[in-house]
Amino acid sequence: MSFTVRGISPRTHVITIGKALDYRNAQEFKALVDTLMQAGVVNLILDFSNTGILDSTGLGAIFSAYRKLTPRGGQIVFANVSRPVQMVIELTHTNRIFKIFPTVETAQAALTPAKVS
């Protein structure tokens, strides 16, 4: 499997993208997102710390997940974006759609609703 999944809450999971999200594993990514959604996950943090390749097919898979999760009140955010992925994000203006965080922890804090005392 190209991805590692870690649940940080019932509704939020981290998907660590391996070396690539491209035409070779985009369908696998989509199937993974569908499985997580069936389990009630609506927020995804995509960890790109070890990712060297993000192509148009991989980007399309992310947008497909985005279109499925946002009507359910969910979000997809990026964390630990590597330099090669950052270049793709900037060239495609994807940063206008997805929030980018320096770490998974900061992304998690942004997705966690504030508790009212």
Q: Which CATH superfamily is domain 3-110 in?
A: STAS domain (3.30.750.24)
- Where along the chain do its domains lie? 3-110
Specify whether the CB–CB gap between 76 and 66 falls below 8 A. Answer: yes
Query: Could you tell me whether strands 12-17 and 100-101 are parallel, antiparallel, or unpaired per DSSP bridges?
Result: unpaired
Q: List alpha helices for 1-114, DSSP H.
A: 26-38, 56-69, 83-92, 104-111
Supply φ then ψ for residue 81, to 5 degrees. Answer: -70, 120
pLDDT over 70 (residue 30): yes
Supply φ then ψ for residue 90, to 5 degrees. Answer: -70, -45
Q: Between vectors from CA 106 to CA 104 and to CA 111, what angle results, nearest 5°?
A: 90
pLDDT over 90 (residue 112): no
pLDDT digits (tens, 9 = 90+) for 9-21: 999 999 999 999 9
Categorise residue 80: left if φ over 0, alpha if ψ from -120 to 50, beta otherwise: left
pLDDT digits (tens, 9 = 90+) for 83-104: 999 999 999 999 999 999 999 9
